[in-house]
Amino acid sequence: MDIISLQNPKVKYIVKLREDKRARQRDGLFLVEGHDELTLALDSGLRPQTLLTAPELASRSIDIPNAELTTVSRAVFEKMSYRDNPDGWLGIFPIPKISLDDLKLSESPLVIVAESVEKPGNLGAILRTADAAKVDAVLVCDPRVDLWNPNVIRASRGAVFAVPTVEVESPNALAWLRLRKMRVLAATPSAETLYTDVDLREPIAIAVGTEDEGLTDFWMQNADLKVKIPMLGKVNSLNVSIATALITYESVRQRNSRQFLPTRD
């Protein structure tokens, strides 16, 4: 057993990486916990700086040639962990350097623009939708939570490694979309058109904002289409990840159909 002390400097450093965005940004490192999430990270081509395991908790193995493997006690691992039921695997990875120029789009691309999402669970859920729907890319604009927050990775179930994702300022994102002749669709309760009544088969970017404030004026003023999701109850907003999923899958439905059939005249 390499580490059994809770006061070990390496343990304290990992806890700091888990909790402190500034430390992650300063050192260019982030944490990935969990066998499945680590496997997705590895399959995407990422390689850990350090891999840690608690043999008492780990029921499955991971074989990474030439990786530094550190064994720790159960108590140490539970101190480092950010999961309720840790499975004994955790890696320290360099933060990937991905830019807009690295993104490769399909013939009729579908992109999600997530502006100022502040909750790790919402951003993680959006990434899971993007992976399930085979979205070309996710642009995380002006984020309030960083993409490499451990709770984003946990909520995404590792989808952050499967979906091309870039953190970018809104003006740069819009310029990139315009250059590629993609229309911007803004989801807003104030729109008059239902999301099922627009053609989503064309190259399009679905822009969503925060639950409390929605999209900023920047995206609203630059939107080519504005749509709403019908709200039949007393609450006037949906969780942003659910709203994203509904519109994204409407686009998938239309693209898998022979023709666009609006739901009403």
Instruction: For the chain, 265 residues long, give each residue's pLDDT as a single digit of tens.
Output: 799 999 999 999 999 999 999 999 999 999 999 999 999 999 999 999 999 999 999 999 988 877 889 999 999 999 999 998 999 999 999 999 999 999 999 999 999 999 999 899 999 999 999 999 999 999 999 988 999 999 999 999 999 999 999 999 999 999 999 999 999 999 888 899 999 999 999 999 999 998 778 899 999 999 999 999 998 887 777 899 999 999 999 999 999 986 666 665 4
Chain mean pLDDT for the chain = 93
Tell me what pLDDT residue 104 has. Answer: 95
CA contacts within 13 A on the Cβ side of 13: 10
Q: Which residues of 177-198 are buried (b: 16+ CB within 10 A; e: fewer)?
A: beeeebbbbbbbeebeeebbeb
**CATH 3.30.1330.30 domain residues, the chain:** 9-94
Q: Which two tokens stand for residue 40?
A: 């997705």
Tell me what pLDDT residue 25 has. Answer: 95
The class (CATH top level) of 100-256 is alpha beta
Percent of the chain with pLDDT over 90: 84
Tell me what pLDDT residue 65 has. Answer: 76
Q: Which two tokens stand for residue 225?
A: 């289409």
Q: If residue 141 lies in a helix (H) or strand (E), which one and from where to where?
A: strand 137-141
Q: Are 207 and 185 in contact (CB under 8 A)?
A: yes
Q: Which two tokens stand for residue 160?
A: 């952050």
Q: Which two tokens stand for residue 38?
A: 């680590």
Q: Which two tokens stand for residue 61?
A: 């193995």
Q: What kind of architecture, by CATH, is found in domain 9-94? A: 2-Layer Sandwich (3.30)
Q: Are 165 and 97 in contact (CB under 8 A)?
A: no
Q: Are 238 and 200 in contact (CB under 8 A)?
A: no
**CATH 3.40.1280.10 domain residues, the chain:** 100-256
What single letter denotes the amino acid at residue 178? R
Tell me what pLDDT residue 234 has. Answer: 77
Instruction: Report the alpha-carbon distance of residue 62 to residue 257 in Å, rounded.
Output: 41
First to last CA, the chain: 69
pTM tops 0.85, yes or no: yes
